[in-house]
Amino acid sequence: MSEIRDMTGREAMREAMSAAMRADPRVFLMGEDVGEYGGCFAVSMGMLEEFGPERIRDTPLSESAFVGAGIGAAIAGMRPIVEIMTVNFSLLALDQIMNNAATLRHMSGGQVGVPLVIRMTTGGGRQLAAQHSHSLDGWYAHIPGIKVVAPGTIEDFRWMLQRALDDPDPVIVFENGALYNASGPVPDTDPGVPLERAVVRRPGRDLSLVTFGGTLPLCLAAADELAAEGIEAEVVDLRSLRPLDDATIMASVQATHRAVVVDEGWRSVGISAEVAARIMEQAFYDLDAPVGRVATAEIPLPYPDHLERAAMPSVAKVVAAARAAMQGRVADPGEVVTA
């Protein structure tokens, strides 16, 4: 019988990396301050002492350089885990990720794979201002040749990584910074959920809340609030942003006949837009209301706490969008902004 332990997101990811390194000598971690400092978010704390500087490698402050080094190591047969401090900084390595990691298998006719895992912190809500707080998950989900995953539970923080390391192609893991301190139950054996599979976190009959990563807890809390009003919301955790698990999304929408997509990224041309479009393409005749969306305001995320909270998705905004869907309409922007 599997034992269940309670741990934080950072503890779960640290255990996942440590277990992978103990099991496979090809796995190593590299990135800014991952060694002596223990990671900018303390995720790799203590790993240098166990694995040494050959496998816990502090890098210069050059994302393009160390992501490129990770690509080279992967091609040469290693299984690197590259940590980028925050998603905003990953743009300095976008050339390496898109033009090399994502394309080499295709451009080599299948001869060269890049089994690389890139971890990066994403999301706001921590007063880190515009250069450290954005959710650019949708940018990377746009790129063929890579997989993009976003754990929203502590269990997935623990068990997604090994499946990413087993993949023959690049996998980007977006870790919402708000979940590092969150805690939750984690089984000591792999639950066996495929990397690309979405999961229904809460069953419901009246509408589907489709979300991922840091907005999953918001949607679960909103579902509790809606249940008190007699509205049973089903919460679908996408987990994988590329590829999207259309089958699970559509099965939920076909059962509930209403959908609200919740994404911490910007509304325009983001994950919420893609999921809403797919629902309209594949489940239009099952819908009893237009697909609603809750996303972050179209601004650089502010530093002041009250402005940051006003810009980002919240439980109240999700509830407002869900109530509108139950009335057969999309919430007026004012309803969602001021909720």
| Active site residues per annotation | 63, 132
The torsion angles phi and psi of 212, rounded to 5 degrees, stand at -170, 165
185 token code pair: 């139950």
**Residues 35, 57 contacting (CB under 8 angstroms):** yes
3-state secondary structure of 217: helix
Residues for the chain: how many in total? Answer: 339
The torsion angles phi and psi of 101, rounded to 5 degrees, stand at -60, -45
219 token code pair: 């949607």
DSSP classification of residue 109: T
Position 152, amino acid: G
Alpha helices (H) in the chain, listed in sequence order: 9-23, 47-51, 63-75, 87-90, 94-96, 104-107, 137-141, 154-166, 216-228, 246-256, 271-283, 305-311, 315-326, 333-338
**Quick one: which of 178, 112, 102 has its CA closest to 141?**
102
3-state secondary structure of 91: helix
DSSP state string for 149-162: E---SHHHHHHHHH
DSSP classification of residue 92: G
End-to-end CA distance of the chain: 44
Question: Residue 100 half-sphere exposure, CB side, CA atoms within 13 Å?
Answer: 18
**Residues 44, 38 contacting (CB under 8 angstroms):** yes
